[in-house]
Structure 1
């Protein structure tokens, strides 16, 4: 089982929650300075949490780099609508690092999961095409391909031999929440302008990043069944 939270982890969580609430307040009162000051901090703290772990392997370092690209994406998306494409690219690169991380301890294909993930990608792209993507059509298509691949590789770790169960579960939930966040964001941008979508998008996004962070923190630890058999 995952270890109990340390005092340091509790402090990081408390600071992260404060900045998350500050960003949500910025959304509600439409304060650009408050949003800019607060948005990047929660994910930056997740990267810091992994950096402070006593032992880090390839999985952890790949996720740390992915999180930092997420921080860059957060900043760029909030900076200006003109920076949207650059923010999209930053998140895309982050997903590639997550894919590489998930491949470090599981390479089994699980083609059924791949088919499901890519069918979802086809479905969401077709739905977005009902709106007005304009010049963003190709970048969005590439992004959907990458994030659905990330979901596939996260799901492939679930119940895979040698993969910590808590890590696999956290990674899968993280990928699902991340995909839900990006899907809602894309629908809001290109199809319907949904009320309060920004708050739902950021909350599901943070949960997604947290899930992937915990997947990295717990990766490599023996599952309870493995410890029992070893004993």
Structure 2
């Protein structure tokens, strides 16, 4: 077998899947914003996340456990995406994404222990406090415990990703860790915008900002588990 040829050709389907993911995300945002038929959104929203799952699943990364936990998070994200297509599925979607963040936290502790640095947790804790303070009056009573639990899990995921990047700074592992940290920050931004729109006041261009940052966040998190993101310089 020509090993060099197989290595050269292997990334091609991955590039196509990555391009399809980007196109599907853009089309879903357009459908959500009524620039395309709204019915398309029901197909494109879960399809976009499914394409990212396929993109990562086809890639044999150097850390199989990290890749497996990120894939687990993406699968629960797909379940959450599907549930949130119905307004009545908000609570189910919230639980699915909470489990997804727990899976990401496990992934981001593969190379650095949980709370190895306290500074990112303090920073994101302050972000969580600010978001919850702004939202609290508009959150219905039955949802308050679930929303608080979700926000704490979300910011813990973002903080642990930042810890990984902080600790990895002097090493080649910074590249995947940086992808994870950017993904975590984008996820916090996306969910904060979504919560503001839902519980306080409507946001202009809501779907552009919320979905754009969401799928960018998922892409960055998936990139943290890809082999070329971990390649030694």
TM-score for the superposition, normalised by structure 1: 0.88
> Is residue 85 of structure 1 aligned with residue 85 of structure 2?
no
Q: Is the deviation greater in 32-41 or in 140-149?
A: 32-41
Match in the other structure for 1:208: 217
- Residue 8 of structure 1 aligns to a residue in which SS? helix
Match in the other structure for 1:229: none
Match in the other structure for 1:131: 138
Shift of 1:23: 1.2
Distance 1:39 1:102 in 2: 26
- Residue 226 of structure 2 aligns to a residue in which SS? helix
> Is residue 103 of structure 1 aligned with residue 112 of structure 2?
no
Distance 2:108 2:127 in 1: 20
Report if the CA contact (8 A) 2:135-2:196 is conserved: yes
Match in the other structure for 1:26: 31
- RMSD of aligned C-alpha atoms? 2.2
TM-score for the superposition, normalised by structure 2: 0.88
Shift of 1:101: 0.3
- Give unpaired runs (5+ residues) of structure 1: 225-231
Matched residues, number: 221
Matches within 5 A, 1:19-168: 19-29=24-34, 31-55=37-61, 57-78=64-85, 80-107=86-113, 109-161=116-168, 164-168=173-177
Report if the CA contact (8 A) 1:157-1:163 is conserved: no
2:200 to 191, 210, 224: 191
- Give unpaired runs (5+ residues) of structure 2: 1-7
- Residue 54 of structure 1 aligns to a residue in which SS? coil
